[in-house]
Structure formats: structure tokens, C-alpha cells
Amino acid sequence: MTEPLVQMRGITKRFGGVTALLNVDLEAHAGEVLAIVGDNGAGKSTLIKVLTGVYQPSEGEMFLDGNKVSFASHADAIAMGIDAVYQTLALADHLDPAANMFLGNELTRTVMGIPMLDNKRMRSETERVLMERLGVKLKSLDAPTESLSGGQRQAVAIARAVYHEGLRVLVMDEPTAALGPQETARTLKLIQNLKAQGLAVILISHSLDDVFEVSDRIHVQRRGQRVGVVKTADSNTQEVLGLIVGAEEAA
Amino acid sequence: MSTETTDVPLREKLEPYIAIIGPMVMILAIILFMLAVEPARYFRLSNMNLILLDAALYMPMAMAMTFVITQRGIDLSIGSIAALSGIIMAFLIKQYGFSVYIAVPIALLLGALMGLINGLIITRFQVPDLIGTLAMDLVYRGLALVLAKGLVLARFPDLLTDIGRGQIPGFIPIPVVIGIATMIAGYWLLTRTYFGRYTIAIGSNPEAAELTGISVNRHKLYAYVLCGTCAALGGILLTGKLNAIQATSAPYFNLHVIAAVVVGGTSLFGGRASMLGSFAGVLLLSMMVNALVTLRMEFFWQSVASGVVIVSSVALYTWMQQKDRDGAGGWLAALATPDGQKTLRFSAAIIGLLIALLALGGIFAGDPNPSG
């Protein structure tokens, strides 16, 4: 493969005396889905929080497109084109989908020198982004977000991340955890769409079925370390499970 | 679920408008009731004017309180802010000869400052809003008492009384114009500005608001400053209306305003705001109070009525929020459960004991000895 789009090298993160990550490497390419799997406490969340600028690494460096980068905050990471969709989705349920999609980043128009929210344009943009990038059409854009299904809410949260034109790496934390089978299938389809558009998608999941269905490579974390990266096509559930629980090492 | 499926779409269609429908139905009920009981005096033009004049006093505060409550906050200090800023304005005008044109903006800014103090206490010192504003209510009321003692400051320049009770000839009173203008401004703030959008987001999901980069504390602060400023405006309107102010003025502002906002469908649990509902709520409470007066009820029943309206409307909205309204088999079915039985017996014991003691006291009662 070519040069990875995003690369983490020798990342170590300590919280006081606890070492959450020890010398972890990670590479993700444009147009691929990299799954990160591992048991609870394996350091998956810490790793992506370092990647998205929420935490700063104790040691190690990160490269984006071959250039060394460091993020002081989550906003820095977003500005560089790395964003995340959280498990909780971070949606305000009482606002409509358009308001949620532009939350914190509203479109305005100026009337007599006073900036006002441009609700009309935000709505048409939401419709466009949902349709063009995700292939999702909501029944009604007027209803509050709480009335949408789990998958639709997910779509709105993803749309918020992909609306940023410079987005290159999208991290998704357990996107299918709270979804039924049908919604899960739809979300996996969304991930395929994003991949086809040339994004590097990093997917954290506990569900190996989903991981095998959608990912290109699987990065396995165990006790704060990377214990292996396998090509999904050349691997199977057995091997990955073995890596997760550490059976391979013992054997 | 055996509910008829035909009314579901209707209910879904009505859901967004329930905020308005609630107070509108109650307003209609008052109108129908007064039409039946006392139409001659209640529907006089001069009485309509009185209702509007009373409602206008609460409109700015209800507008601001809508923002505070939508952010999952509460401000229990507006009555004292109104009194204190009114008192200081009165002193400036009466004792120091300040022009009304300067004293009124000073009062508004003082209100803003007191709101700022409330907001800083809540956001910086992390004092819960309920305790923080309740304590500051004592502080502001105390300062007003210290300043004014028992004094009633009265007889202000015409300009101030015009603000409070002036009438545009052949049209509505000036305070009503001010009140409605603030409500319209509030509607604009809520739907068209960052402040309004973030207010809903913060109340709806504070963590999400934080994650999307919204400065939660700053926008909370704005809401309290707005509330303080509007409370001062309420104080000015009150001073102008009565042409007098004293330290104990505006004792019922807090609950009256909160009642109006809650009746209007703004959720005490945050995230759901309705400016139109708050307007209807203010109107409803003023009509109710006026109806009580028209019916020659004692003034003190007002407080009882406000309390009943708050409790019943919050209970009603909570009930309407429940998705599964008929799943448990309705209200009375809950009493049949073991837990319901225990609650029932417990309540019966309290009431029974009370009745028994009253009976006992009545049986062994001696001659009454009046305290007077």
C-alpha cells in the first residue's frame, strides 16, 4: 500500500502511575476502514482520544500525510481534518436535525449588520449532505431529533462530521452498539459510502461480525499495547479473538 | 396495544403545538366560565385594559425566565432584583435629582449586574442554581431593606409613570407595548441567534453542547444577565405603575413568572422552550388573578391558585411526555399494586389520625378564648 494518511508512532499515555497506552503504533490509509478491537481497558478509547486531540500523548508522535502534527485540543484535530462520532452521538434531542448538524458551527446571514442564524440554508444543506454523502433521506426535517430512529440519529451525527469539507479521518466509537440488526446494516452501509469517498475510517467496535463485514484491516489492542494488525480478508474471527484474549502468545 | 390507530397521526401532528394548546384551553375555560358567571364586569373594556396592564409587568421577566429554565436553570431572585433596582432608581431620582432618562438605564444595568453575580456564582463557584439564586434573593432583598428601611418612595416624574401605566390614546397601554416588544425580541433571540440555539442545546444535552465546542458557562451567564436585566425592567414598570416603590415590593414575582413560563410549556427539565407559550402563560395568569378579583375572592387566594396551576401543569406535561400512557392500565390500576396499597394505607393513616385528633379536640373543647 501507499503512504498511510495518518500514522501514530510509539504513542505512550500515562495517567499518573497508570500506563494506558504503551508504545502503540497505528496506521490508517485513505479509502480504507481500520477497525480497532480489544477487550475493555485495552486502550482503544484512549488511543482514539489521543488521535482526536482530546488527550495529549505522554510520548510518541503523530503524522498526517507525512507531516508531523500535534494537537493541543479536539478543535485542533478537527481543523486538521480528524473528527470523531461518539457513542452517545452528542446530539441535542430537542433540536431538529438541521440545528444538530450545525451545532457549534451555525450558518449565519447578516441582516442590517446583525448576524442571524440562517435556518433555511442550514436545512437545505442538511438535506443535501444527508442525501449526497450518506444516501439518507429523512421523512421530516422539522421533527425534533429525539423522534428519529437510532440509525437516523447516527446519520445526523455522521453528517455533522463529514460536513467539514476538509475531513479526512473519521473515528467512530461503537457506532452499532445500540442498534438493531436492520439499523446496523444501514450504518455499515454508511461506513462503506464514506470509505468510497476516500475517507480513512477508524472504527472501534466490540462486534466482530460488524468488523469483519466492513473493515479492511483490524488493529488489535491488548493491555495498552498493539498486539497485532491483520488483513481482514486473510483472517478469521478465531484468530482475532485469540489476539484479543492473548491466547496466541501463550500457544 | 389496543389503542385506536387513527388518532396517532393526529396526536403526532398536535405534539409540537401542545405548548400553546395547553394555556389556550385554560384561557378559553376562564373566558367561558366568566361568560357564564360575571360577563358584565369581566368583559368591560376597562377590565381588559387592567388585565393587559397586569400581564405587561410580567412579560419581560417571563421572556428571560424562558431562557433560564430552558437551560435547566432557575432564577429565584427576580423579585428582589426588581425591588432593589427599583429602590436604587427611586433614590437616584428623588434624593439625587437624577434625570429619569439616566436613572432608568442605570436601573437596567444594575439588574444586569445582579444577574451577572447570580450567573458567576452558578458557573464559577458551582453553586446549584436553586440554592445560589435563593440565597442571592435574600441578599438583594436585605440590601433593599437596608437602603429603604420602611420608606415608601412615591410621586415620580411623569415620564416614569407613563412607562408604567401610560396609555396610547385609543390604543393599548405603553407598558403593554414594552412587554410585547420584549416577547417578540425574545422570540427572535430564541430562534435566530446563537444564544437561543445554544440555550436549547445546553438544556437538551449539556455534554453534547460541551463536545461540539459550545461555551456552556458563558451562555448560561448570558441567560442570567438577561434575567436580571428583565427583572429590573419589571421593577421599573412596577414603580411606574404604582407611582411608588418600597423594599418589600414584588414579593410574588418569582413564582408568578415561573408559573407563567411552565404553564406555557417550557420544560423544567430543559431543552424545550416556547416563547409563545410563555406569552400565553402570562396572559392566562393575569386573567385568572383578575377573575378572582372580579369574583370578589380574597386577594390571598391568588397564591393558592398560582400554586395549583404550577403543580397541575407540570404534572400534565410530564404525563404527556410519557410514551406509554395507557400501558399501566391507567391511574387507578396503580392503586391495586402492593406498593400502591401501602401508599394508600399510609396516606389513610395520616388523614385518619388528623381527623381523629380534630374530633378529640372538638369533644374536649372548653370555652374559646380569643387572643385579641
Reduce the secondary structure of B35-64 to three states and give it as a string.
HHHCHHHHCCHHHHHHHHHHHHHHHHHHHH
Nearest CA in chain B to A143: B16
| Tens-digit pLDDT profile for residues B68-102 | 999 999 999 999 999 999 999 999 999 999 999 99
Distance from CA of B120 to the nearest CA of A (A): 23
Looking at residue B326, its pLDDT comes to 55
In chain B, residues with a C-beta closer than 8 Å to the C-beta of A117 are 191-194, 196-197
Q: Which of A103, A142, A160 sits opposite B201 (nearest CB)?
A: A103
Query: How far is Cα A160 from Cα A43, in angstroms, rounded to an integer?
Result: 26
Burial (CB count <10 Å: 0-12, 13-18, 19+), residue A166: exposed
Global confidence as pTM: 0.84
Region B91-119: what's the mean pLDDT?
95
| All cell numbers assigned to B286 | 393575569
Domain B39-294 has CATH 1.10.3470: yes
Coil vs helix vs strand at B219 = helix
Residues 6+ apart with CB under 8 A from A212: A232, A237
E strands along chain B, which residues? 152-154, 244-246
Mutation target among A94, A120, A139, A140 for the B interface, most CBs of B within 10 A: A94
Q: How confident is the model at residue B60 (pLDDT cuts 50, 70, 90)?
A: very high
Type of residue found at B236: I
A73 close to B (CB below 8 A): no
Mutation target among B70, B71, B204 for the A interface, most CBs of A within 10 A: B204
In chain A, residues with a C-beta closer than 8 Å to the C-beta of B191 are 117, 119
Least-confidence region, from A214-218, B277-281, B322-326: B322-326
Least-confidence region, from A75-79, B137-141, B194-198, B314-318: B314-318
Residue B218, pLDDT above cutoff 90:
yes
Query: What ipTM is given for this predicted complex?
Result: 0.77
The angle formed by the CA atoms of residues B301, B303 and B307, to the nearest 5 degrees, is 115
HSE (CB half, 13 Å, CA atoms) of B367? 1
DSSP letters, B71-93, are: TT-----HHHHHHHHHHHHHHHH
Compute the count of residue pairs across chains A and B with CB atoms less than 8 Å apart: 62
CA dihedral B172, B173, B174, B179 (to 10 degrees): -80
| All cell numbers assigned to A222 | 491488548
Mutation target among A103, A139, A153, A171 for the B interface, most CBs of B within 10 A: A103
Query: How far is Cα B66 from Cα B266, in angstroms, rounded to an integer?
Result: 7
Coil vs helix vs strand at A111 = strand
Residues 6+ apart with CB under 8 A from B19: B264, B265, B266, B272, B274, B276, B277
> B119, B220 in Cβ contact below 8 A?
yes
| All cell numbers assigned to B360 | 378529640
Query: How far is Cα B23 from Cα B259, in angstroms, rounded to an integer?
Result: 11
Query: How far is Cα A57 from Cα A47, in angstroms, rounded to an integer?
Result: 9
Q: Where are the domains of chain B?
A: 39-294
Looking at residue B6, its pLDDT comes to 42
In chain B, residues with a C-beta closer than 8 Å to the C-beta of A107 are none
Q: How confident is the model at residue A251 (pLDDT cuts 50, 70, 90)?
A: very low
Residue length, chain A?
Answer: 251
Region B177-199: what's the mean pLDDT?
94
Residues 6+ apart with CB under 8 A from B338: none
Indicate the average pLDDT of chain A.
Answer: 87
Phi, psi of B157 (to 5 degrees): -60, 155
Region B104-128: what's the mean pLDDT?
96
Residue B52, pLDDT above cutoff 60:
yes
Is the dihedral angle over the CA atoms A33, A38, A44, A45 positive or is it negative? positive
> A168, A200 in Cβ contact below 8 A?
yes
Residue B327, pLDDT above cutoff 70:
no
Share of chain B above pLDDT 70, in %: 91
Phi, psi of B169 (to 5 degrees): -55, 130
> B94, B127 in Cβ contact below 8 A?
no
CA dihedral B253, B254, B255, B260 (to 10 degrees): 80
Least-confidence region, from A134-138, A210-214, B94-98, B321-325: B321-325
Burial (CB count <10 Å: 0-12, 13-18, 19+), residue A226: buried
In chain B, residues with a C-beta closer than 8 Å to the C-beta of A88 are 207-208
DSSP state of B173: B
Choose among B257, B232, B228, B253: nearest CA to B86: B232
Looking at residue B324, its pLDDT comes to 54
* CB-based contact A92 B191, cutoff 8 Å: no
Least-confidence region, from A59-68, A234-243, B44-53, B292-301: B292-301
| Tens-digit pLDDT profile for residues A137-170 | 887 788 888 888 888 888 888 888 888 778 899 9
Share of chain A above pLDDT 90, in %: 25
Query: How far is Cα A114 from Cα B227, in angstroms, rounded to an integer?
Result: 22
Coil vs helix vs strand at B329 = coil
Coil vs helix vs strand at A131 = helix
* CB-based contact B204 A92, cutoff 8 Å: yes
Share of chain B above pLDDT 90, in %: 53
Least-confidence region, from B175-189, B315-329, B356-370: B315-329
